[in-house]
Every structure is written in C-alpha cells, then in structure tokens.
Amino acid sequence: MVYARCVPQLILSVLFPYKEYETKVIIRSKLNYFLLIKRKLDAKRRNLFRRTCFGRWFDLFLFDHEPHIIDYMLRKQHDVNDAHYDMPLIYYVEGHTLHFGRAEFAFITGFRFGSVSFGLYTSGNLKFRERIFPHRIGLSVTILDLIGVIEDEELFGKISDEDAVRVCLLLALEVIFMGRLLNSEVDDKLMRLVESLEAWNAFPWGERIWSHLYDQIVGVIRKHSHKHLEGLKKDRMYVPTYTLGGFVFAFQIWILETYSTSNVWWIKIAPVIPRAVGWSKKTIFKRSDCSKLFAKVLHHERNGGVVAPLAFNDCFSNMTNDFRASLNNLYLDLVNLPESDEDIVLEYIREKELRLRLEEEDRLQLEDEKMRKQEMRIRVDEYKRMRSEEQMVSHLAEEKKKKCDEFVNSAKLNKSLTLVEPNKRNHADGLPSESNYKVSWVKDLSRWFHIIDTLWLNDEFDLFLSKPGKVNYKFPWSDDFIVNQNFWLRLVCLDPARKGWLTEEHTDLWVDYMWHVRPENCKWAMVSTYFVQLLLQNTMPLFYVDGSRYPIPWSDVDQVLMPINETERHWCVGHFHILSGLVTFYDSGNTYDYECRDWFVVGKLFHQVMISVTNHVAESS
C-alpha cells in the first residue's frame, strides 16, 4: 500500500520535472589570498598573524566556492518584506525548512559579535598609512595598493613585522571576508583601527561581515529574475549572471553542514571552531549533482534505518533501467539496481573520466596560478613605475613651490606690488564723507602667495576643469540640484561672463549641506535664498517654516538664518531671533544711515512677519 501511494507521485515528478534556467554566479571573495598571505609571511610573522582574530583561518583546507549549490539554495529562499540582520533567512528545500542567520554564521565562522561602532576612528592621525604609503598622502589607498606592498619583496621586507601583519589583516578583511573589488578604496577608519592590534582583535567583525553578507544574499534571485527572463526571451545565447560580494563561503559551509550527503564530495576533517576550516574537497561537484545533494529524502534518514531502498517486485519488472536511474537521481538511490556488465563498464568509464577531470583541473589550476603570478608581477612593476612617477612629480612640485616662494619674496615683486597697491577707499558722492567714515586697507597676508587680487588654481582643479564634454555632478546631501561645469567655473571666476558671481544654486547647496551636518540638539534653522524673494512678492512661504521643506519647524528653534541675494551685485545674511523678534543684517559691504534697498525695507517688517509665521507654526503643531 505504501508503494501504491508513492509511485504515481514519483512517476509524475520524473515525467514532468520543474526546470529552472541555469545561472552563472560570480563570487568576489577570493579564498586563495590566504595562500598568498601564508607564502609571503615568514615563520615569525605567521605566528604573529595566528595570534590575531583572523589567525585560525590559516588552517583552511578548502579554497573553492561551489556556485551551483549556492545558486540552488538561494533560489529556495523565502521572500521577506521586512528584512533585518537579526532575523534569519528561511529556505524551503524539498519539504524541509532551513534557517540561516546570525547564530549559524557565528557557528560557521567563530567571529566575535556585538555593537559595531567606528566612532573612535573617524578622525585622528593616520600613522599606519603614513608609514606604509607615504607617497599616497592626500590620495586614496586601494586594495591593489595593499597587494602591491605584499608583492614588493624589498618594501615588504623593510617594514616592521607588526606592520606586515596589519597589511595582511586589511587584505584578508577586504578581499576575503567582505568580498570587495580590488580597485575599492580602503577606508581610513580601518587604517586607524588596525594601528592597534588589540583593538582590531576585540572588534566585532562577525557583526560587520554578517550584515554585509546578509545585504548581498537577501532577495538576490528576486532582484535579478526579471532581467534574466527578459534576456533569455530576447536571446537564446544569453547567459543569466549575477555577482555576490560578502563572505559567501560561510553560506556554502552551512549548506554542507546541513546535508550529510555532502560527504560524497567533501570531507569533514574534525568538529573544529570555526567549522569552515574543518572541510576539504574529495571530488568534483557538478551541477547535475545538486539533485543528489538536496535529495527529497535526506540521507541521514536512510543511514538511521528509517527508509531503506525499495526492492521492486515482479509487478515493476517492466521498468526500464533509465527510469530507475532517474528515480535514483531524484530520490537518492530509491531503487536497488541490479549490477550488470554494462554497469561495471559504465562505472569504469566514470572513474576514468573523473580521474581525467581531476588531472585537467590540476593542470588548469597550475596554469591559473602561473597566470596569476605573471599578472601580479605586471601589477608590481606598474606599481613601482607609478611610485617612481609620483616621487618625480612630488620632487617637481617641491621645486616649483621653492621657485614660487623665491619669486614671492623677491624685491622685484615687492616693488611691483607697491606700485599697484590701491589708495584709501572713498565713498561715492552723497554718502558720508571720508572724515566721518574711514576704511583702512590692510593687505591680507594669510592668502596663498600673500596676494588678494589673484586666484591660484592647483593642478588637480585645473585638470578637472579642462575635461572634455559635459561635466554633471549631484551632491550626496541634496537631491534638488545637478550642477554642470559652469557651477565650478563660477567659483574660480572663469565663467563665460568672467564675473565669478555666486548664484542661488551655490548658496542653496550650502544651505542643504548645513542641514545635512546640523546636530540634532541645535536651536537654529536656515532657509533657502528664495525665502526673502517670496516675501518681497507679498507671499507667505509657510512651507519653509512649518517642517515641510526642512526637518525642523521654526517653533522648535530660537533663531533663523536667511541668505539674501541682490542679484548679480551683492550677498548678505539676515538673522532672526525668534524670542526677541529682533532681525539683524550682516553685510560685508557699505552701510548707510538711511537704507532704501529692498531687503532692508522688508527687514523693517520682518519682526511682524516672522512672529506671525512662527505663531502659525506653533498653533498648527
């Protein structure tokens, strides 16, 4: 009776299997960099590295990712609408519910967990960076720069043992555990943290690495499926592909730990912590083996004697061997197949094919290693060439600066400056006389080259402005503006009109930036340059003050700052003190006893307008 109920379902599963499109998975994490680190460190430095929080990974035996099983499991992931690192990801596999979360990740990796904070390392000296990359001061340091230090045997041998370990820790974190691209920038916060190996070892890397992996794998199939299906629909030769960052190896080891059938292809050496270092490879795993690894009847149930292979009687003698083989493929040796000469020959052929594949894999691995060494040698040569060029450029810059200093301090320049130095400034006719209003002109020696009427551009800014084509930029703190090249040209007085006048766009971006960096406990607010213009048009711009345009309403602050633009002529700022109702104007230009400019006239009414606006906001809130 049991067979009568099971067989029809098995036959339907064989005749009408669910087919999914094959996907190519690109995994950024490079486990073989552990081999590079071990090879480059001598015995003393290896012992130092082993005493760090990453030292246990030196015992890793398995360096291969298995994209087939990773992709298969990710396709079984349950969709979640409110994803969070604290909640495990759920997978439905052949009637079983599996959980992969923080606890499983900690069990696999052995990393420390806790609250992640880089607050102590956001500012301060970059001593480690200055020691290892003195030629990169003011420039970003990438992962390729770390590799360049390790591959440069002369440089790597000169640095201290502790600094050599620090370089390897950064490389292992970024390339292996975080799975970043080699051209990615190394954060200065990590440079400061690695200066103290004790702080580095105490840092909760498990939390940081887990949250990054979670972001990479949660809903990844759903994110790419539409694009893949559209590509397959348009082109039969299209290869669906997606890329995974993060420490995907931990996810792979969790799969192997979950399914005991994995012992067909891999060997679990010992129950060690972290569990990932206790695995090694036995034989090649193919995509077609997924059905055996993720069998509908789990292998440990068979080993416990719960379910034995079915011995079909004469009623099923008409089954073909192909059909029985299909059942075994889907349900893990469900049917006992009689051995025949043909089976023995096929087994011999399979073993020979496997041996040839292993030999081919070894050959390809050696070739890949040879090509990798050659590529690394080219990179090291390129790195040395770039260092030489940077040193030459730095030397030329020092020579140029020395000549400029000599020229600035020369008697000839000082004599020329005395000839063009302006006289005392006089007011226009009808304004207060010079006897009542005197302005003494003082040369500002704090400016570059001690000159106030000349704008000096550095080489980087000059190269930026000379880029061909359109130059459009969007600032991260403002979604309202996309600036073009004219925005930058105005800053250095090189706009077509040669006026160099700051527009409302410049000032509004600055206002948005001030809101971006404003501490939450501040008692000030700031508005756009258009606020005063709207007041001049007899409108009441409440959306600037009631919390609609900016996150803080005026009812929660004590003072408001308002930039004011007399178009193409002058900028000043208005300051409104809400509690006293006092409006103060800060003007760097000339002021007069009797003011007739528009915003000063409006300013006389500001205290009435502002108080009524603030009261309206307080009532509505």
pLDDT, mean of residues 98-126 = 90
Residue 432 lies in a domain: no
The domain of 179 spans 117-203
Q: How far apart are CA 129 and CA 170, in angstroms?
A: 12
Give per-residue pLDDT as tens, 67-93: 889 999 999 998 877 778 888 999 998
Q: Write down the residue that tokens 């205290």 correspond to.
A: 607
Residue 451 lies in a domain: no
Q: How many domains is the chain built from?
A: 2
Q: At 285, is the pLDDT very low, low, confident or very high (cuts 50, 70, 90)?
A: confident
DSSP strand pairing (570-577 vs 559-566): antiparallel
CB 251 within 8 A of CB 70: yes
Residue 264's alpha-carbon distances to 251, 260, 310, 324, 332, in angstroms, are 19, 9, 21, 21, 12
Residue 302's alpha-carbon distances to 95, 225, 332, in angstroms, are 16, 36, 10
pLDDT at 344 over 70: no
Query: Last residue of a domain, which of 203, 233, 265?
Result: 203
DSSP string, 76-110: TBPP-SS--TTSPEEEEETTEEEEESHHHHHHHH-
Give per-residue pLDDT as tens, 503-516: 888 888 888 888 88
pLDDT at 249 over 90: yes
Query: Last residue of a domain, which of 174, 203, 232?
Result: 203
DSSP string, 268-305: E----SSGGGGEEE-S---GGGHHHHT-SS-HHHHHTT
The H-assigned helical ranges of 439-492 are: 459-465, 485-491
Q: How far apart are CA 593 and CA 591, in angstroms?
A: 7
Residue 109 lies in a domain: no
Query: Last residue of a domain, which of 165, 182, 203?
Result: 203
Q: What is the percent of the chain with per-residue pLDDT over 90, rounded to a whole number?
A: 22
Give per-residue pLDDT as tens, 349-370: 766 766 676 677 667 767 777 7
Residue 472 lies in a domain: no
CB 449 within 8 A of CB 456: yes
Residue 342 lies in a domain: no
* Contacts of 403 by beta carbon, 8 Å cutoff, 6+ apart: none
DSSP string, 365-412: HHHHHHHHHHHHHHHHHHHHHHHHHHHHHHHHHHHHHHHHHHHHTSHH
Looking at the whole model, is its pTM more than 0.85? no
Length of the chain: 621
CB 505 within 8 A of CB 512: no
Give per-residue pLDDT as tens, 525-558: 998 888 877 777 777 778 888 888 888 888 888 8
- Closest C-alpha among 152, 195, 178 to residue 31: 178
144-169: burial string, b at 16+ Cβ within 10 Å, e else: ebbbbbbbeeebbeeeeeebbbbbbb
Residue 537 lies in a domain: yes
CB 519 within 8 A of CB 537: no
Give per-residue pLDDT as tens, 256-271: 988 888 888 998 876 7
**What DSSP character marks residue 453?**
S
pLDDT at 430 over 50: no
Residue 298 lies in a domain: no
Residue 332 lies in a domain: no
pLDDT, mean of residues 286-298 = 72
Give per-residue pLDDT as tens, 195-236: 999 999 999 999 999 999 999 999 999 899 889 888 888 888
Instruction: Show the CA angle centred on residue 511, arms to residues 621 and 617, nearest 5°.
Output: 15
